[in-house]
Structure 1
Amino acid sequence: MQENIRQDKIVGSRRFSNYFWSLFLTIGGLSFLLAGLSSFFKINLLPFANPTELVFIPQGIVMMFYGALSLSLSLYISATIFWDIGSGYNEYNKLENLVKIVRKGFPGKNREILLTYSLTSIKSIGIKISEGLNPQRTIYLCLKDERKIPLTPVQQPNSISNLEKQAAELAKFLDLKLENL
C-alpha cells in the first residue's frame, strides 16, 4: 500500500528566516518609534542613545514613520508565521490515480487550497533552474494542457543535485519522463 502512495511535506511560513526578520523588524521598529517620540516629548526613552536632541520636524516624524512601517511589516510576517501560510503537502496516489496539492492560505472561506489532477492528465515532471540575483530551482508538474504547477515551496534554493534527485525519484515513482524547462 505504501509503495502506491507518496506524500511530500511542504514547509510554509514557519521558517527560521521569517522568525529572524520578524524579531529584527520589531526591535528596529520599536527603536525608531521611541526615538521619534523622544524627540517630540524631549524625554529620553532609549537607554543607548540620546534622541532628545533631534528636531521633531522633520527628523522625529521620519523616525516615527519608519518605526510604524517596520512594526507593521513585522506584524504581517508574524501573522503569516502564526497561520503557517504556504504549508501543506503533495500527495501522489497511484491507487486513486490522483495527484493532490494541498496548501494553507490566509484565513477565510478559501483557507484550504486543494488542487487535484488525474495521473492521466500529467505529461511529465519538469525542472527549472535559473541562476543570478534571484535564483530559482523549482520542480514542476507539467500537464498535457501545457500548464506547469510548481511542486517545491518558496524558500532558499535547494542544491542542484538534491533538486535533480527529488525530481528523478518523483518521475520514477509516477512513471513519467523528466524534462528540463
Structure 2
Amino acid sequence: MNWRSERIWVEFITGSRKISNFCWAFILFLGSSGFLLVGISSYLGKNFISLFPPQQILFFPQGLVMSFYGIAGLFISAYLWCAISWNVGSGYDRFDRKEGIVCIFRWGFPGKNRRIFFRYLIKDIQSIRIELKEGIYTRRVLYLEIRGQGAIPLTRTDENLTPREMEQKAAELAYFLRVPIEVF
C-alpha cells in the first residue's frame, strides 16, 4: 500500500510477515518437533510415533542426532516466529518535496537499535540507481544514491519485480524527486 500526493510520497514496506515466512516457520516447527519426538522415544524406549517401533532406532547414535536436529530446528523456528511477531524489516519510505526531506524508517530486532531511522535532504540525493543482474540468480534492486553517504536500497532483493516494473518505479521516483536515473 502506497500513498502519494503532489508533494509527499509514502511507500510502506512489508517486513517479515510474509506468507512464505509463516509457511517455513510452521513447516520447520513441525519437522523439528518430529525429529525431537523420535529422539526422545528412542531414548525412553516408548512408542510416541506409531510409524515405527522405537527398537528400530538406537539412541546412540541415531536418536542422539535426531534429538540434536530437533532442538536446532526448534531454535531456528523460534527465531523465525520472533522475527514474524516483531515484523522485522517493515517500515516506510517517505519522500517530502514540501520540506525537502527523505525519511527511511525500518523496524529491527528488539534492543538499542530497534528503530532504524534515516533522514536526508532531497538536495543531497545524487540519483536513483537501478541494479540489474540477470542469470540464474536474478537480482533487481532500486537504490537511492546519496552524496557522501553511498547507496541505500529501496527495494528488497527478494522482491520480484519485472524489469519493466522496476524501470517504471525508478522513473516515477526520479521524476518525483527531480533527480537522474543510473543503471548498473
How do 1:27-46 and structure 2 match up within 5 A?
A: 27-46=30-49
1:142-169 superposed Cα distances (whole Å, 9 cap, x missing partner): 1122601111134342222111111111
Q: Calculate the TM-score normalised by the size of structure 1.
A: 0.94
How do 1:166-181 and structure 2 match up within 5 A?
A: 166-181=169-184
1:60 and 2:66 aligned: no
Is residue 39–residue 54 contact of structure 1 (8 Å, CA) maintained in 2?
yes
- Stretch moving more, 152-161 or 85-94: 152-161
Aligned to 1:125: 128
How do 1:69-108 and structure 2 match up within 5 A?
A: 69-108=72-111
CA RMSD of aligned residues (A): 1.5
* Structure 2 residue identity aligned to 1:54: I
1:153 and 2:156 aligned: yes
Is residue 10–residue 153 contact of structure 1 (8 Å, CA) maintained in 2?
no
Is residue 12–residue 84 contact of structure 1 (8 Å, CA) maintained in 2?
yes
Task: Identify unmatched segments of 5+ residues in structure 2.
Answer: none
Mapped to 2, the partners of 1:114 and 1:129 lie a distance apart of: 27
State the 1:132 CA deviation.
3.7
1:10 and 2:13 aligned: yes
Mapped to 1, the partners of 2:165 and 2:32 lie a distance apart of: 38
Mapped to 2, the partners of 1:133 and 1:29 lie a distance apart of: 31
* Structure 1 residue identity aligned to 2:10: Q
Mapped to 1, the partners of 2:98 and 2:52 lie a distance apart of: 66
- Stretch moving more, 122-131 or 70-79: 122-131
Task: Identify unmatched segments of 5+ residues in structure 1.
Answer: none
Mapped to 2, the partners of 1:51 and 1:17 lie a distance apart of: 34
State the 1:120 CA deviation.
0.8
Mapped to 1, the partners of 2:134 and 2:44 lie a distance apart of: 50
Mapped to 1, the partners of 2:109 and 2:125 lie a distance apart of: 29
Q: Calculate the TM-score normalised by the size of structure 2.
A: 0.93
Identity over aligned pairs, percent: 40
Mapped to 2, the partners of 1:117 and 1:74 lie a distance apart of: 37
